[in-house]
Amino acid sequence: MRADIVRISEPAALAFDCTWQYHHAGFHQSEEQVSTSMVQIRGLTKRYGEFTALSNVTFDIPRGELFALVGPNGAGKTTTMRLLMGILKPSAGTALVDGRSCFDDRVEVKRLVGFLPDEPIFHDYLRAIEIVRFVGSMHGLSGSEIEGRAWPLLERMELADATDEYAVNYSRGMKKKLALVCALMHQPKLLVLDEPTSGLDPIATRRLNELLLEMVQGGATVLLSSHLLDQVERLCHRIAIINAGRLAAVGTLEELRRRANAESSLEDIFFAVAGEIAPPASA
């Protein structure tokens, strides 16, 4: 079993990600890399005591790309995102956004990044609109800028009719949409979305997908994690598969397919790469 994992993951990691280039470049960042990559992750490791949640992960996300992190529960996706947001400090390695360190330059980085957590929790006793205004003000937006940006976003997320409600009374999907509005208020260059579609209804999911594509066309970069493999397959330019804290594979769907010798769908690749779980017999 262990031999299987090594056989599949090692060449996969070597062949079609930036690790290869990175190893040969000898840790020196070229000028080109800084200008094209929005996110650079190098040997990123996070340990909680003796437990290693993320181990030596390396990948790049070029500007204007829609990039997906997939992997089983507890694989390290959320840890990666929290490291990018400077909520956690790396135990080793670096995470850079636009060439800036996510932990050391966290204040600067957050001007560029919008973040949607897996389970957004809001302050008690604040109405939705008050939260949106609070977030806008904390990003330094003026009152008119906030109103000008918030209402179209709220309309689009179908929250405009419930903005006077306390956010704690929102359903899970509504909270997620509200958090998304908050993440978009300052027009970020990079969106970090932790399972953005979980809890969303099909209409909202489609709207979100459209919104993400629009943003990417406008030059923004998106990093999202998801369990909906078919959605990732349709939407994302490149995909990274994380398993047990290690990067198992990264590349475009085509590259992943070629590498894993798997059949057509991302689901098959996922099962092949994630290794431990055998594909269902009927597939």
Partner 1 sequence: MSAALRGPERPPPSTLRVAGLVIGLAVRRLTSRMSITRRKKPSTARGATARKRSAGVLFLVFSILFLFNGMVQSTLLVHRVAVAAERRANLQSELVTRDTMVWVDWAHRCVQAERRHEHEDANWRETLLRAFTRQVRDDGIGDDINAVRRISELMRIFEERGPAGFREARVPSRAVFPSQRGWYGEGDAGEMLIPLGVVGILLAAAVVLNSTASNQDLAKVDFSLEWWFTFPVPARSLLLARLLETAVANPLAWFTVFPFFSVVFWCAGYSWRGVAGGLASTIYIGLLAGSVRIVAETGLRRFFSLRNVARLQAALTLVAAIPLVIAIATMSPQWLTTLDRLGRRLPTWVIVNPLMPIGIAAGGKEAVMAVLGCALFALVITGSATTLGGWMLRDGLTTGAGPHQGHRQPARPVGESRLGALGVVAGKELRFLVRDRRTFVQVFLAPVIILGMQMIMNPRLWRVLATHPRHAGAMAFGLSAIVLATGACTTFAVEVPALWMYFTFPLAIDEVLVRKAAFWGVVASVIAVVTFGVLTSADATAVLNGIPTLVLVLVGVVLYAFIGAGLGVLGTDAFETEPRHRVRGSMVYLFMTLAGLFAHAIYTPSAWAKFAQLVLSALLAYALWQKVRDHAPFLLDPSEAPAPSVAVADGLIVALAFFVLQGLLVLTLGGLDFSPGAALLLAFVGAGLVVGVASLFIFWQSRIPHLWATLGLRTPRRGLLRGVLTGVGAGAVGGLCGRGYLMVVDRFDVLRRLRDDTLSLSHSDTGAGTILWFIALTVVAAPLFEEFIFRAVLFGGFRRSIGPWGAALASALVFAVVHPPIAVVPVFVLGFLAAVVYERSRSLVVPIATHMTYNAIVVGAALWRS
> Cα 214 to the chain's mean position, in Å?
17
CB of 137 to partner 1, least distance (A): 4
Residues 6+ apart with CB under 8 A from 13: 19, 247, 248, 249, 250
What is the identity of the amino acid at 228? L
Contact flag: residue 15 with partner 1 (CB under 8 A): no
For position 222 contacting partner 1 by CB under 8 A, the verdict is: no
Q: How many CA atoms does the CB half-sphere of 251 hold within 13 Å? A: 24
What does the alpha-carbon distance between residue 155 and residue 150 come to, in Å, rounded to a whole number? 9
- The answer to whether the Cα torsion of 221, 217, 31, 242 is positive or negative is positive
- Which span (12-20, 109-117, 215-223, 247-255) binds partner 1, by CB under 8 A? 109-117
CB 154 within 8 A of CB 163: yes
For residue 127, state whether it binds partner 1 (rule: CB under 8 A): yes
Q: By CB under 8 A, name the one of 1, 3, 107, 203 that touches partner 1.
A: 107
Site for partner 1 in 146-175 (CB under 8 A): 147, 151, 160-166, 168-169
Judged by beta carbon, residue 134 or residue 268, the one nearer partner 1 is 134
DSSP state of 166: B
Number of residues that bind partner 1 (CB under 8 A): 57
User: What mask of x and - would describe binding to partner 1 in positions 23 to 52, judged by CB under 8 A?
Assistant: -----------------------xxxxxx-
CB-nearer residue toward partner 1: 103 or 228: 103
Choosing from 18, 97, 113, 273, the residue that interacts with partner 1 (CB under 8 A) is 113
The one-character DSSP state at 280 is P
Q: How far apart are the first and last CA of the chain?
A: 21
Q: How far apart are CA 185 and CA 48, in angstroms?
A: 33
Question: Which chain residues interact with partner 1 by CB under 8 A?
Answer: 46-51, 82, 85-89, 91, 103, 106-108, 110-111, 113-115, 117, 120-130, 133-135, 137-140, 142-144, 147, 151, 160-166, 168-169, 182-183
